[in-house]
Amino acid sequence: MRLSTIVNDISVEIDLSGVTDSAYKTVGRLLDKDLRRPTVKNRDAINKAFLYALRECPNANPSDLWHHVVYRQYCTILIRYRPLNPLQSWVRASGDALEMAVEHLYAPILAPHRIKIVALTSRPQRRRVLEEMGIGTEVGDSKLDIALYTELQVDHWQIFSGVHVKASLAERVSDDVPASRAMMGRGYFSPLWTLDVKSFPPPHGDLINRGELGRPTAPSEKRKYIEEHGDFDGCYSANSRTVPSLVQTASRKRIYRLDLPTQPDKFAQDVIARATTWRLRKR
């Protein structure tokens, strides 16, 4: 479908390949139904709408579904029912919503491999997990989004990884670097999972969601976190416009472009491999 929207008093048409008019309207109805109910949290409304969009539009760019289908309708619908600034509300609620969505997407893929994925949506949860890894006194307790556990023995689960989840790399990804480096220093798997959302509005932009990672031949500063500095064990992007790394990088860490409908994707494959290595090392 082609989405017509007005930004900065300028009319723009966005090509949303793989998105049907029916799915777009249903996302709006889901958001409307949930946001009018005061007992439904904003993050739950966003999470539900995004997961629906992913199911119904498997050939669409997941990053576009988040940015153009869910976000834009959320901001329009929210002000009908809740006295909140839409942009501020989105910033507060969408982070938890995406972490919950990542947990939902990968839990059934990882479970057969004795791996449990847990979204850390509260400060006490994050603090406890960082303490489990022995880095609680080194980093702030808001620097981790998802924990991954593997079963060493029956009902004996041990953390082997923490995932940094970002819808946009503009979300101060540099703040996660100290925690990531501390984790890797202790042998934990520390990947960055992102939708790599970034578009520029008119009059200077066209709203195409190209992301912030640039290209291997013209790397952005965000790309250098991975390819040059090795601040994370890898970057896994669900934006179909993300340009993946070449085979070799200076840090030996790479950026991967995910195909979410095809599972296990590269993120799941690497998680499974690291869990297997962890279990063998702990024998």
Q: Are residues 162 and 220 in the same domain?
A: yes
Cα–Cα distance for residue pair 7/29, rounded to 1 Å: 22
- Of 53, 68, 91, the last residue of a domain is 91
- Of 43, 67, 91, the last residue of a domain is 91
Q: Are residues 150 and 120 in the same domain?
A: yes
Total domain count for the chain?
2
Q: Are residues 108 and 173 in the same domain?
A: yes
pLDDT at 76: 95
Q: Which residue has the tokens 């690497």?
A: 270
135-167 pLDDT, tens digit per residue, is 988 887 767 999 999 999 888 999 999 999 999
Neighbours of 41 (CB within 10 A): 13
Question: Which residue(s) pair with 236 in the sheet?
Answer: 193, 256
Report the run of H or E that residue 88 belongs to, with start and end. helix 86-110
Cα–Cα distance for residue pair 95/214, rounded to 1 Å: 23
pLDDT at 171: 66
Q: Are residues 137 and 161 in the same domain?
A: yes
Cα–Cα distance for residue pair 274/283, rounded to 1 Å: 15
Q: pTM, whole model, 2 decimals? A: 0.96
Q: Nearest-CA neighbor of 193 among 274, 98, 59? A: 98
Reply yes or no on whether the pLDDT at 259 is more than 70. yes
Reply yes or no on whether the pLDDT at 12 is more than 90. no
Q: What are the DSSP E strand ranges found in the chain? A: 2-7, 10-15, 115-119, 146-153, 156-166, 192-194, 214-215, 218-219, 235-237, 255-257
Q: Are residues 81 and 111 in the same domain?
A: no
Q: Are residues 130 and 176 in the same domain?
A: yes
Q: Are residues 100 and 77 in the same domain?
A: no
Cα–Cα distance for residue pair 141/148, rounded to 1 Å: 17
- Of 57, 91, 125, the last residue of a domain is 91
pLDDT at 11: 85
Q: Which residue has the tokens 């834009």?
A: 72
Which range marks the domain in which residue 25 is found? 2-91
Widest distance between CA atoms in the chain: 63
Determine what percent of the chain is predicted with pLDDT higher than 90: 86
Q: Are residues 118 and 204 in the same domain?
A: yes
Q: Are residues 107 and 242 in the same domain?
A: yes
Mean pLDDT, rounded, for 214-237? 95
Q: Are residues 268 and 201 in the same domain?
A: yes
> What DSSP line would sit under 210-231, residue for residue?
--S-EETTEE-HHHHHHHTT--
**Which residues are within 8 A (CB) of 269 and not within 5 positions of it... i.e. 6 or more apart?**
none
Q: Are residues 50 and 187 in the same domain?
A: no
How many CA atoms, within 13 angstroms, populate the side-chain half-sphere of residue 214? 12
Torsion on CA atoms 30, 102, 262, 243, rounded to nearest 10: 100
Query: Cα separations (Å) of 112 from 71, 115, 124, 150?
Result: 33, 7, 28, 11
Determine what percent of the chain is predicted with pLDDT higher than 70: 99
Q: Are residues 65 and 148 in the same domain?
A: no
Is the N-terminal amide bond of 124 cis, ω within 30° of 0? no
